[in-house]
Chains A and B, each alone.
Chain A
Amino acid sequence: MSVEAARAAAPPEADAPTDEHERFERLVRRHHPRLRRVVAGIVGDRHRVDDVLQEAYLKAYRKLPRRFANEAHEAVWLVRVVHRCALDELRRTKRRREELGELGHLRAVPDERSARLDVDAAFARLAVGDRSVLLLVDLLGFDYEGAAAVLRVPRGTVASRLNAARRRFRELLEAGDGRA
């Protein structure tokens, strides 16, 4: 059993916006639009995106470092937290969502183009590791080191996984409906 020693200063008033809240929200807003795409791409259920992000941001706030070496490190740190939460969500719901047709973001709406459905379907059929590396490198623009830090794999693994993921994505798209 451990005894948590107290802080030297009194805690901030909890109901007032704090500098830490504002700093954190500014940080989150810098990355939020792209993180929505990452979560949607990993989780697959478009209706869960905001819930997963809220949980991820709360976790990130609890672990918020006092400073970052630079903006790239900040992005890697936040994406790693969000990516981990998205994977956790995927695991929790995996048993209920084994069927491809159950993935929420594959549901066609009347005015959507079939091309979009093809892209969504093909992407959803990729393994989660492939989706992750494509989202990190090709969508977010991370370099191999950054993606490796998020995924906690060696840099070489990112490179090989990326090539394989691009190839599989292309094959699925060429199959026409994502059911290759």
Chain B
Amino acid sequence: MGERDVRDLLERLDLPPEDPDFFPSLRERLRARDRSAARRWRVAAVALAAVATAAVAAAAVVATARGGGSVLDRTLSCTLAGSAVPGVGVDAWPRNGYADGGLRIFAGSRDSLLRLAGSVPGFSLDATRCRSASADVSLDVAGLDDFHVVGLGFDRVVARCLPSGRVLLRMQLGLDPAGHPDRATVALAGADGTPLGLFRWQPSLVRAWLGPDCPGG
């Protein structure tokens, strides 16, 4: 039995007539879903405002006119305590045909400190592990000689940096007018400010500069 024969048979499988209200009903459910999402957004906005107010001395939230989007620049100090696997991991990937690009910074093997994806508005930050910091973390690549780049496809940048106790994390996040991340620069440094790695993420391109305490590729 060949492909065409099977297709002919499958076309004969019984199929009920389509409900004429299918798409009107779907539209209504999508609207209801958006209303629910809007309510959640308002709650999240209040939470963010509280965090931003507390962190105003250390974190800069800079609105720009670039295409109506905005840039968020924050420096955080995150504890790595309590993780069975030492260090802080980085996983960054560009989009491919099946999934959107994203970036994740995590303590140990799985506890996300920072997570963002091109298809999801905003970002996710573990406020139980990270707090705003006033340290000066450079976004420069000086001293970070191990360079990696990943373009569209199925590759990703994976690294594990090995600071002790805490890691300083500075993120400069660009958001499009709909709030989706469209670029991010994340610098990791040890508690004493020693640069560990720098990651520049865009939906279609990931570049990483790694120092000797941040092996990966």
Contact = CB atoms under 8 A, between A and B. Distances in A.
B118 interface: yes
B118 A66 contact: yes
Interface in B105-156: 112, 115, 118-119, 121-128, 152
B35 A138 contact: no
The residue among B12, B51, B68 with the most chain A CB atoms within 10 A of its own CB is B12
Contacts of B33: 58, 61-62
Given A14-B38, A170-B1, A3 B48 contact: yes
Given A54-B22, A58-B29, A7 B41 contact: yes
B15 A40 contact: yes
Contacts of B19: 50
B177 A105 contact: no
A173 B8 CA distance: 13
Interface in A140-170: 149, 166-167, 169-170
Interface of A: 1-9, 11-12, 14-15, 17-18, 21, 24-25, 28-29, 36-37, 40-41, 46-47, 49-50, 53-54, 57-58, 61-66, 68-70, 72-73, 76-77, 80, 105, 112, 115-116, 119-120, 123, 134-135, 137-139, 149, 166-167, 169-170, 173
Interface of B: 1-3, 6-7, 9-16, 18-19, 22-23, 25-27, 29-31, 33-35, 37-38, 40-41, 44-45, 47-48, 51, 63, 68-70, 72, 95-100, 112, 115, 118-119, 121-128, 152, 175-180, 203
